[in-house]
Amino acid sequence: MRLLFIGDIVGRAGRTALIHRLPALRARWRLDFVVVNGENAAGGFGITETICEECLAAGVDAITLGNHAFDQREALVFIERQPRLIRPANYPAGTPGRGANVFETAAGARVLVINLLGRVFMDALDDPFQRIEQELSACPLGIGCDASVVDFHAEATSEKQAFGLFVDGRVSLVVGTHTHVPSADARILSGGSGFITEVGMTGDYDSVIGMDKEEPLRRFTRRIPSSRFEPAGGEATLCGVAVETGADGLARRIAPLRLGGALCPAEPDFWND
């Protein structure tokens, strides 16, 4: 199966890159399933129903979230009627929406998508390691699903790597999100899971993690907030990771994807047939 995970869409610049580029990528590489992290899609903070629908219409199959999941209050309501929008599974019991879901591809394969939040330098939430045990035992790879994608939304590189190793051999792909700058370590772990510590944002990199640089610089140099953070509006780099899985659901090939904007381009060379 051909999977693509696209990192955190930041504001209009990120949405524009996604909407303009994904339909062609999907057709060219005959992608089976596309996951996008959308927690910064609406002005950098959260997601609206309109933006959610735009992403799905562009060819996204599932949208994951993170610590900004409910910054747009309407998400608390529409997430209940949008099964393709997945919020962190380790939020407190009773949080609207779902933390995992299984989707069917056009070819009839089942893909499990799970979203979890890390706990190092982040809000205290339920243990993501314990939580994923529950999710994976409810839907084991090869039995409950044919492929699985985990978005681990976390601050600390160490926690992201530990989490990847924890689920290695039990998921198709485990991707770190949230810190917005791609790491150069996309690889297949020894147990067969595709992994990247941080997939990187889809946003304008002439910025401070996607935000217009003026206000962050003012806050770092003068310690006084003077305006809201606004997403940077220049051309975005679309950042992602492409994975091909085998019959057992584990990763066979993996490559980073970077298109447009300020970053050095990269794309998989194994689907150009």
- What residues contact 205, with CB distance under 8 A and at least 6 apart? 236, 237, 261, 262, 263
Nearer to Fe ion, 26 or 153 (CB): 153
Q: Does 258 bind Fe ion (CB under 5 A)?
A: no
Catalytically annotated residue among 20, 68, 178, 180: 68
Strand 2-6 with 147-153, pairing:
unpaired
C-alpha neighbours within 13 Å on the C-beta side of residue 124: 0
Supply φ then ψ for residue 27, to 5 degrees.
Answer: -70, -45
The first and second tokens of residue 138, run together, are 């409810």
- Stretch of residues binding Fe ion (CB under 5 A), selected from 18-26, 75-83, 176-184, 231-239: 176-184
Q: Does 160 bind Fe ion (CB under 5 A)?
A: no
- Stretch of residues binding Fe ion (CB under 5 A), selected from 46-54, 119-127, 136-144, 178-186: 178-186
Q: Is 68 a catalytic residue?
A: yes
Strand 100-104 with 110-117, pairing:
antiparallel
The first and second tokens of residue 31, run together, are 């992608």
CB of 66 to Fe ion, least distance (A): 4
CB of 143 to Fe ion, least distance (A): 32
- Stretch of residues binding Fe ion (CB under 5 A), selected from 121-129, 170-178, 202-210, 221-229: 170-178
Contact 32, 103 (CB under 8 A): no
- What residues contact 33, with CB distance under 8 A and at least 6 apart? 1, 2, 3, 4, 61, 62, 103, 105, 109, 111, 147, 149
Give the three-state DSSP class for 6: strand
User: Which residues from 18-57 bind Fe ion, rule CB under 5 A?
Assistant: none
Which residue from 106, 47, 104, 99 is spatially nearest to 75, judged by alpha carbons?
47
**CA separation for the pair 269, 242 (Å, rounded):** 10
Q: Does 155 bind Fe ion (CB under 5 A)?
A: no
The first and second tokens of residue 17, run together, are 């890159």
Nearer to Fe ion, 2 or 178 (CB): 178
Q: Does 181 bind Fe ion (CB under 5 A)?
A: no
Nearer to Fe ion, 145 or 238 (CB): 238
Nearer to Fe ion, 97 or 192 (CB): 97
Q: Does 14 bind Fe ion (CB under 5 A)?
A: no
**CA separation for the pair 88, 207 (Å, rounded):** 26
User: Which residues from 52-91 bind Fe ion, rule CB under 5 A?
Assistant: 66-67
User: Which residues from 185-214 bind Fe ion, rule CB under 5 A?
Assistant: none
Compute how many residues bind Fe ion; rule: CB under 5 A: 3
Q: Does 157 bind Fe ion (CB under 5 A)?
A: no
CB of 68 to Fe ion, least distance (A): 5
CB of 178 to Fe ion, least distance (A): 4
CB of 122 to Fe ion, least distance (A): 9
Residue ranges binding Fe ion (CB under 5 A): 66-67, 178
Query: Among all residues, which ones are annotated catalytic?
Result: 68
